Structure formats: structure tokens, C-alpha cells
Amino acid sequence: MPKALIGVQTIAFRDYLDTKNDYMNAFKRVADIGYDGVQLGVGVKENAPCAKEIKEIMDEVGIVCTAMNAPFEKLEEHLDQVIADAKALDTKYVVIGASPEWVRTNGKEGFLDFAKRLNVVGEKLAAEGLYLHFHNHALEFRKYDGVTGMDILLENTDPRYVFFQLDTHWVQSGGGHVVSWIYKAKGRMKVVHFKDYLIDRYSDTSFLECTHRLYAEVGEGSLNWLDIIQACRDIGVEWFVTEQDRCVYRPPFEAIKISYDNLRNFGL
């Protein structure tokens, strides 16, 4: 079986990204680890290179743009710019990294409205050959009349236009069954986010139900990675992207190397 495509989300090493030279150095380190691509997060700094320049840097170091993040508000208000950036980066995948606050504060109706608006944006992106993905957090697993926000989105969005980038850590954090949710997303997930879930004696990053939890390198936490990887293979995931919002115990580039090495050791 050929090696799968493994990418990394820039959030792990965001503090190392500012100028064009910073991007060159960081992406070179990513490529040296063995990663095939990078998913570009939001929060670009003032001195950051433009999409065209980022693509040139990627070409030089030998990686590709796995996907790019764009806030939902930007997709509604400045869609042409998002499309232009995606094409400049030569990526097919546009990711909404989180549901807007108005969705979560308006309960079931908020999620239903969000689903309708996702369909509109997704159809426009599809016309340009792009795939809209929604990335979950834990809050989407809150139930409304017995149905989670994620289920509302899954059932009320058009499978032709709206896809999902499940985040393994956040599914677990929200009380979902990671493998079951991967199969639920069959046919609707081109890019997955791999992040482990670590229970620790102390964490200042989160405190959930009297248990300290951490974002962890893939393979260093409590998730069942062999089953997760197999499920992703079964449904045809194209890109396996590691993401670590905070690197608590190790420097970022050491952390993302551990995730990469563990995934390859798991047979990915």
C-alpha cells in the first residue's frame, strides 16, 4: 500500500511565522521531517507573504498546500478573495475552522441557519472546483432536542457542497465516538485532523469534568489510532493532517515530528 499523504496545520508553529523568511525556514523544517503538505491556518501576521509568495516557498522546499482555512464571515463577505487565494495556493480544500459564535448561542435554530448558509457558500465554491469543509470543536456536540449540533449540520447540508474535517481530539472531547463519526462522514471528508487526547495530572489549557486534558502529539494520548486510521482509509480520506493547538511539553517542531513519525509507524 502506498504511503498516505500527511500534512500539518500551521497552528502548531504559528509563533514561528511572520516574515517571508520565517515561512521559508518553517516550511523547510516541515519538509525535512517528511510532511507532504501544510494546511494554512488563519491569523496571518502583518508581514506575512501573500498566497502567491507562500506557494513559491512551498514549491521551493517541496511541499504543497493541503488546505487553507477561512473564517465563515470572510467566505460570505469576501468569497472572491478566498477563491483567488485557494487558486494561487493550488489547493482544492477550504476549511471553516470553527462555527461562529452566533451559531452556538442560538441553539438548534442557529445550527439550522448555519447549515443553509453553508450550502450557499459551498455551492459557490464547488462551481470553482473547490470543496468547503467544516472543522468541528467540542461545542458542536451539544444536544438540542436530543440531536447534536454536528448531526444537525450533517443532516441539513448538501453532500455535494458541504464536507467535514473531523478533528479527532474535539470529537472525543465533545463525547462523540471518533470511529463512528468518521464512518458517518463517509463521502464527505477529504481532509481529516489528527490530534490526540491526553489525560494528565495538570493542565492550564483545559479542565473538563474534573479531569485535566491536553492536546497531544498523535500516538502520545489515549485515542485508538489503528482503528481511526483504518476508518479514514475505509471512507477514502485523501489528506491526514496533524494539528496541535498548543505544544505544552515539547517545542513545536519536535512535537509535530513525533506525530509524523508515529503515524508512519502506525502504517500510514
Question: 12-64: per-residue pLDDT in tens?
Answer: 999 999 999 999 999 999 999 999 999 999 766 667 899 999 999 999 999 99
Could you tell me the pTM of the whole model? 0.94
Residues 6+ apart with CB under 8 A from 61: 24, 27, 28, 30, 31
> Measured between alpha carbons, how far is 169 from 11 in angstroms, rounded to an integer?
15
Between strands 196-200 and 211-216, the pairing is antiparallel
> Measured between alpha carbons, how far is 249 from 234 in angstroms, rounded to an integer?
33
For 10, the 3-state DSSP assignment is helix
pLDDT score for 175 = 93
Q: How confident is residue 202, by pLDDT bands cut at 50, 70 and 90?
A: low
- Bridge partners of 149, per DSSP, are none
Q: Which domains does the chain have, with CATH numbers?
A: 5-195+223-265 (3.20.20.150)
Among the ranges given (20-29, 202-211, 214-223), the one the predictor scored with the smallest mean pLDDT: 202-211
Question: 126-160: per-residue pLDDT in tens?
Answer: 999 999 999 999 999 999 999 999 999 999 999 99
Residue 245 grid cell: 493547538
Q: How confident is residue 208, by pLDDT bands cut at 50, 70 and 90?
A: low
Residue 93 grid cell: 480544500
Question: 239-249: per-residue pLDDT in tens?
Answer: 999 999 888 88
State how far the alpha carbon of 40 is from the alpha carbons of 43, 58, 101, in Å.
10, 11, 22
CB atoms within 10 A of CB 47: 11
Question: Residues 157, 119: contact at Cβ < 8 Å?
Answer: yes
> Measured between alpha carbons, how far is 10 from 180 in angstroms, rounded to an integer?
27
> CA torsion, points 261, 262, 267, 268, in degrees to nearest 10?
-70
* End-to-end C-alpha distance for the chain, whole angstroms: 9
Q: Which residue has the cell 507573504?
A: 49
User: Is the per-residue pLDDT at 93 higher than 50?
Assistant: yes
Among the ranges given (109-118, 189-198, 212-221), the one the predictor scored with the smallest mean pLDDT: 212-221
Q: How confident is residue 209, by pLDDT bands cut at 50, 70 and 90?
A: very low
Residues 6+ apart with CB under 8 A from 123: 158, 160, 161
Edge-to-edge strand order for the sheet containing 131-135? 162-165, 131-135, 93-96, 64-69, 37-40, 5-9, 239-242, 191-194
- How many residues appear in the chain? 268
